[in-house]
Structure 1
């Protein structure tokens, strides 16, 4: 098998971790393996990306962003029950 024939495996630059308890609940956002900030909504994730110079963040591209413990619509602990 050549490299061209092997499956594409990539590590996305952005990783949004599971919802954490808080008032309000939040999710940590990692960029390049380092915590870049906290997000209380998808808007916060986009703002973190913009602060790092990313003008358009494709929230559905698994090569760009990985959502752990839910998707971009998961922002409360009730979603996890």
Structure 2
């Protein structure tokens, strides 16, 4: 019983934690469009959505800076 309780707590926390995975490029394009619309005028997007989109754009910029090949495996330089 002593060992089972920590295992159950850890399993519950793992199940509740949001999955961490890389966003695909379509999410990047949607986020870029949302941020551009927000810059042009008032939009229905909340500040939380805009913050998340800005984070996605930042992560893609860092990922692209480290990448030496395109999506098809061809060298960028």
- If the length of structure 2 is used for normalisation, what is the TM-score? 0.28
Report the structure, 1 or 2, having the larger helix content: 2
- The one of the two structures with greater contact order (alpha-carbon pairs below 8 A, sep at least 6) is 1
Give the number of the structure whose alpha-carbon radius of gyration is greater: 2
Report the structure, 1 or 2, having the larger strand content: 1
